[in-house]
């Protein structure tokens, strides 16, 4: 981790104040960066490939310092390790990171969360039973999860949506382990329990980030109706295709978010 930290510190040359994790099909959101570092050169970052993910970190300067875009994430379903993103997040936190913006593809449980919609994640339900803090010592592991998705950053994301003229819905995200998609019965259950979105990422990263003291904002791109909603039968190829179509909207939203102040 110290090697990755030193490498990033010298490559950035300035404080990395915000990191943006780009989910399936969303790598284009990073745009042209100033520096591109493959994860293979960053010990502790995800190694290996998942379809639809790239595996590199892009640094881009802005008025406040530097933004790190993480092109691709490691998922719980790849290894059964809920700490799959711990090395990357701990490295960034050690560099003084304050804000973590998570993006992901998700299935829409509500009928108004149609494919192509963007939704601000307001809260989550950890349905997987896994937790990245299992095995961590010390009282800090009892990490509070009220306002896990930071209210100030949520307000900032809403303002960004307004200024970028991008429609932004909101919803509660339920984490399923994957990699199989949900059954229609599971999706009906998710809706009854208060979920609006279902997905296979984001939640362990939010838990890790809160444990590290980072502020989190998360935006889902709805790539499909969840299983059984409108006869939905999700497929990974569809997830990648719709995510790529939605990447431009996500890019506009994230760019506006990075320009906004917290206030």
Please, what is the minimum distance in Å from the beta carbon of residue 106 to ligand HPA? 5
Which residue lies nearest ligand HPA, judged by its C-beta? 107
Chain CA centroid to CA 80, Å: 18
How far, in Å, CA of 27 to CA of 31, rounded?
8
Q: Which is nearer to ligand HPA, 111 or 139 (CB)?
A: 111
Please, what is the minimum distance in Å from the beta carbon of residue 241 to ligand HPA? 11
Chain positions 108 to 127 lying near ligand HPA, rule: CB under 6 A, are none
How far, in Å, CA of 223 to CA of 247, rounded?
11
Task: Mark the segment that binds ligand HPA (CB under 6 A) among 53-61, 114-122, 198-206, 248-256.
Answer: 198-206
Instruction: Indicate whether 196 belongs to the interface with ligand HPA (CB under 6 A).
Output: no
Whether cis (ω within 30° of 0) applies to the bond prior to 179 is yes
Instruction: Indicate whether 182 belongs to the interface with ligand HPA (CB under 6 A).
Output: yes
Six token digits for residue 230: 């409108």
Please, what is the minimum distance in Å from the beta carbon of residue 175 to ligand HPA? 9
Instruction: Indicate whether 106 belongs to the interface with ligand HPA (CB under 6 A).
Output: yes
How far, in Å, CA of 116 to CA of 102, rounded?
17
Chain positions 199 to 228 lying near ligand HPA, rule: CB under 6 A, are 199-200, 223-224, 226
Q: Which is nearer to ligand HPA, 103 or 251 (CB)?
A: 103
Q: DSSP string of 63-108?
A: TTEEEEEEE----HHHHS-TTTTHHHHHHHHHTT--EEEEEEEEEE
Six token digits for residue 158: 């809403």
* Site residues for ligand HPA per CB under 6 A: 105-107, 176, 181-182, 198-200, 223-224, 226, 234, 239
């Amino acid at each position: 981790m110290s090697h990755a930290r030193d490498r990033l510190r010298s490559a950035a040359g300035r404080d990395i104040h915000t990191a943006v994790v780009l989910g399936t099909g969303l790598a284009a959101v990073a745009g042209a960066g100033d520096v591109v570092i493959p994860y293979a050169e960053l010990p502790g970052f995800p190694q290996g490939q998942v379809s639809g993910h790239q595996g590199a970190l892009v640094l881009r300067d802005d008025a406040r310092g530097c933004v790190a875009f993480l092109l691709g994430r490691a998922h719980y379903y790849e290894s059964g390790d809920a700490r799959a993103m711990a090395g990357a997040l701990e490295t960034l936190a050690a560099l003084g990171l304050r804000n973590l913006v998570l993006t992901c593809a998700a299935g829409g449980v509500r009928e108004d969360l149609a494919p192509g919609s963007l939704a601000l994640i307001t809260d989550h339900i950890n349905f997987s039973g896994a937790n990245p803090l299992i095995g961590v010592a010390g009282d800090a592991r009892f990490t509070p999860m009220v306002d896990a998705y930071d209210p100030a950053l949520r307000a900032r994301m809403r303002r960004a949506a307004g200024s970028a003229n991008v429609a932004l819905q909101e919803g509660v995200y339920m984490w399923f382990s994957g990699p199989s998609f949900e059954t229609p019965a599971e999706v009906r259950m998710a809706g009854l329990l208060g979920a609006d979105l279902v997905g296979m990422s984001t939640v362990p990263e939010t838990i890790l980030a809160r444990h590290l003291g980072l502020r989190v904002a998360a935006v889902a791109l709805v790539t499909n109706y969840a299983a059984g909603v409108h006869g939905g039968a999700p497929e990974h190829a569809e997830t990648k295709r719709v995510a790529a179509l939605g990447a431009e909207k996500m890019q506009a939203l994230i760019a506006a978010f990075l320009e906004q102040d917290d206030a």
